[in-house]
Amino acid sequence: MYNFVRRGAYMLLIAGLTMGVAGCSDDDPDYDNVTPPVVEVASNTLTGVITSLNGEGISGAKVSLGEGNSATTDANGVYLFKDVKAGTYQLKAEAEGKLSQTGTLTVADVKKSQNLVWNAALASDVKKEVSVSADAPSEGKVETETLKGNEEAKVEVKAEIAAGAVEADEAGEVKVVISPLYREEDVMARAARATDETMLVGAVLSCNKEGASLKKAIELGFELDSELAGKVEAKQYKNGEWVKVNSRIEDGRVIIAASEFASYGLFLGVEFSEKKSTEVVAFEQSKWDNLYGSKDMSVVEAAYIYKTGTEISTEGTSKLTALLVEKLAQRFGATAVTVSGSYPINVTLPVGTMLEISGVQEEWSVSASALGKSASGTRYGIVTVAVVTSNRQHTGGGE
């Protein structure tokens, strides 16, 4: 009797377990092949850092992207545009007391989210006014700006004006105005480049009286060193191009006989190079794993950090090396800033799915070299972000 009861209880237990398993298979969903959510590709953004020539970020600078679209820089000189669509844009950076700078940006339609970059280093709007007369000579001088720590690159620009050198029709005090010039392109928006040469330093001569002319040449001197002075070529911007102009050398100074109110510069063959590499972007969280979770998971955004701008070594050993450092800063940007970014995701992950985000940033090794001297730096470029979702049957892959 006891054995019969025990055998009956055992059979009931087996039947109960069987019914329980059958019940589970009927009620529970299959999470092995859940369709992962689709993450919309985020719109492109544009960022960069606007600095003075000394490398310090300019707070409150205005950056224009095409017509009617502008952004203001933060305390570090960083600006941000959202939702930048494919196309070609004219850019302009401007700030109080600074000379504006323009550029062109072409955004390709690559079907991936990109954080694009444009930087600018703005020169101070410095002018030296020198009163001139018919009876006595006069002179005036200005110094060029440099990156902090690169003071060796400073160049004194001196104008010596003979008595009666200026002829003006208008009445009143006549003044010659001297302004530093840092890039040959700054003379006009589309100034012709001087073949393969680069302007190391320049100056603009003008007059406070419209239509004034020079009866006698102004001696416009640039303080270099004896070695470099003999290697550069003096040029004047005239009729839409840079042309050779007469000059002489005295104690390391290059002196141009300026016969017109115009822009003048000292040019040298400089070779610029850029070599691209990539660096992995660091995300605060890069994976959301709900493969074996118990409920849906909401994913809103992914925070990350990256760099914008350019890092340049200022350890110059000569006048030329220091000037090459300045050329890199003027061309690519004068400093680099670490920036916090946020990539919008806005999806719900069902149980049985996972999401991963990754990104890379372009890094360009840049250099400028001439006459056996060189300067180098790192320019931080575009950030490209990719988001991948998957389920239990496929837990990898990419866009």
The string of pLDDT tens digits covering residues 67-91 is 889 999 999 999 999 999 999 999 9
Res 244: pLDDT: 96
* pLDDT computed for residue 195 by the predictor: 55
Would you place residue 116 in the very low, low, confident or very high pLDDT band (cuts 50, 70, 90)? very high
Rounded CA separation 53/32 (Å): 59
Alpha-carbon torsion angle 189, 194, 196, 200, nearest 10: -80
- DSSP codes, 56-122: PBPTT-EEEESSS-EEE--TTSEEEEEEE-SEEEEEEEE-TTB--EEEEEEE---SSEEEEE--EEE
Residue 35: count of CB within 10 angstroms of its CB: 10
Q: How far is CA 5 from CA 2, 13, 18, 336, 391, in A?
A: 5, 12, 20, 84, 49
Region of poorest pLDDT, from 5-19, 111-125, 198-212, 267-281: 5-19
CATH 1.10.260 holds for 128-271: no
DSSP 239: T
Instruction: Give the residue among 158, 136, 131, 137 at the shortest CA–CA distance from 255.
Output: 158
pLDDT digit string (tens) for 269-291? 999 999 999 999 999 999 999 99
Quote the pTM value. Answer: 0.86
Q: What is the pLDDT of residues 45-65, one digit of tens each?
A: 999 999 999 999 999 999 999
- Is residue 47 a contact partner of residue 383, using CB atoms and an 8 Å limit? no
Burial class (CB in 10 A: 0-12, 13-18, 19+), 312: buried
User: What is the predicted pLDDT for the residue at 315?
Assistant: 77
pLDDT score recorded for residue 287: 97
In the chain, what are the domain boundaries? 128-271
Distances in Å between the Cα of 119 and the Cα atoms of 113, 220, 341 are 20, 32, 17
Q: What pLDDT band is residue 317 in, cutting at 50, 70 and 90?
A: confident
Q: Under a CB-based contact definition with an 8 Å cutoff, are residues 254 and 319 in contact?
A: no
Give, rounded to a whole angstrom, the gap between the first and last alpha carbons of the chain: 70
Confidence of residue 249 (pLDDT cuts 50, 70, 90): very high
What are 105's two structure tokens? 């940006």
Q: Region 198-206: what's the mean pLDDT?
A: 97
Residue with more model confidence, 20 or 187: 187
Mean pLDDT within 169-189: 87
